[in-house]
Amino acid sequence: MRVDSFDFLLPDERIARYPTSERTASRLLYLPAEGELEHRQFTQLLEWLQPNDVLVFNNTRVIPARLFGHKTTGGKVEVMVERLLNDNEVLAYVRASKAPKAGSELVFANQATMEVLGREADLFHLKANVPILPLLEAQGQLPLPPYMERLAEEDDANRYQTVYAEHPGAVAAPTAGLHFDEALIEAINAKGVGTAFVTLHVGAGTFQPVRVEVVEEHHMHSERFTIPPELPQQIADAKAKGGRVVAVGTTSLRALEAASQQGELQVGSQETDIFIYPGYEFKVVDALVTNFHLPKSTLLMLVCAFAGQEKVLNAYNEAVAQEYRFFSYGDAMLIEKSKGESTRRV
C-alpha cells in the first residue's frame, strides 16, 4: 500500500491557525456509513446522538512541554518533552548546534538542570534536578503543532486544552475534544447519552511525517494510555441496549482498539504502538468524531481504515472545495464505521 495514495491537495489558507470564537462554532462534515455526506454545524452532533450511545473522550492534559536553556558550554538548546517517565525523568527531543553527549548538563533558569543520561533513537533521556511538571509549568511553553507556524499566545493556554482535561502528560491536544464546551456535554448527558473517559498522552510523534514509501513499513511511535475499570461494563451495557460507541478523536479510538487486541477490553495502564490503516478490523468503535488530518499522515490512514479510503478522500476534497478549516483548530467530521471493510490486523 503506497503512502502517496493518501495524499490530497490542501491550500495553505485552509489551515486553521487560530480557533473559532466559540468552541462549538465549528462546522461538522457528516460521513454516514451509507448515503451522501452532509454539511452540518458541530452542535448538530446532539441531534445524531441517541440514548444509550456512549461518547468516549480522552481526558489527557497538554503540558507546556517546550523549554529553552543552554549547555554548560554556553550553546543554546531547546528541549521538547515527548514523554514523562517519572517525576524527574523524561524522553525529549533536543535541538542544539551539536547534539549533547551522555553525562553533559543542560541548564535552565532558577538553577534547574537536566543531565543527559543517553539516547533512544531520536529522543534523549534526561534527568532533572527538580520535579519536571513544576519546572514545565514555571518555564515551559505550550507546544503548538508546527503547521500553525507561530508560538503559543495567551488564549492558547485555554483553547488548546479540552474543558475536561485532567491528567497532565500530553504534548499535543486530543483536538476533536476542543469542540465541546460544558453546555454541550450537559445537553448530551441530559439526552441519555453516556460519557466515558480514557487517558492517552499524545506524544510529539503524532506530527512526525511518514518517511517510507510503503505504508506497511512504517513503525508507529509508542504512547501510554489508561482504560478505567468501569469502562468495559459501561460499553457492554450500551451495546446490549443498541447503543453505539463513539470515539471522540483518533486518540480515544486508538486506546479502545489497542486495549481490545486480546478480545475483551483490558483495563489499566498500557503501552501501544498500534498502527491502523485500511484493512484493520475494528473491534469496539462504531463512530468517530475527528478533525481533518494532514496529507499522507497515519491519522488520515486510520480514518480511511474506518470509513473507506476512496470515500474519505472524496470527503476531504469536498471539504477543501467547501472551505472547511483544517487541522487542530479546524472543523470536524462525524464518521460512521463503513460496512463490509476487509480485515487485516497490524
Per-block mean pLDDT, blocks of 10 residues, the chain (346 long): 96 97 97 96 98 98 95 93 94 93 92 94 94 95 92 94 97 96 98 97 79 92 94 96 97 97 93 94 97 96 97 97 98 91 37
Mean pLDDT of the chain: 94
Give residue limits of the domains in the chain: 3-62+156-336, 66-139
pTM above 0.85, yes or no: yes
Quick check: do 3-62+156-336 and 66-139 share a fold?
no
Q: Report the sign of the C-alpha dihedral through residues 83, 251, 228, 45, in that order.
A: positive
CATH architecture of 66-139: Beta Barrel (2.40)
Task: Judge contact between 293 and 325, C-beta under 8 A.
Answer: no
Tens digits of residue pLDDT in 72-129: 988 999 999 999 999 999 999 999 999 999 999 999 988 899 999 999 888 999 999 9
265/255 Cα distance (integer angstroms): 10
Nearest to 81, CA basis, from 54, 37, 114: 114
Name the CATH topology of 3-62+156-336: QueA-like (3.40.1780)
Residue 52: partners with Cβ closer than 8 Å, 6 or more residues away:
192, 193, 194, 238, 241, 242, 243
Quickly count helices (H) and strands (E) in the chain: 8, 17
C-alpha dist (Å) from residue 213 to 2, 169, 283: 6, 32, 28
Q: Report the sign of the C-alpha dihedral through residues 318, 323, 327, 332, in that order.
A: negative
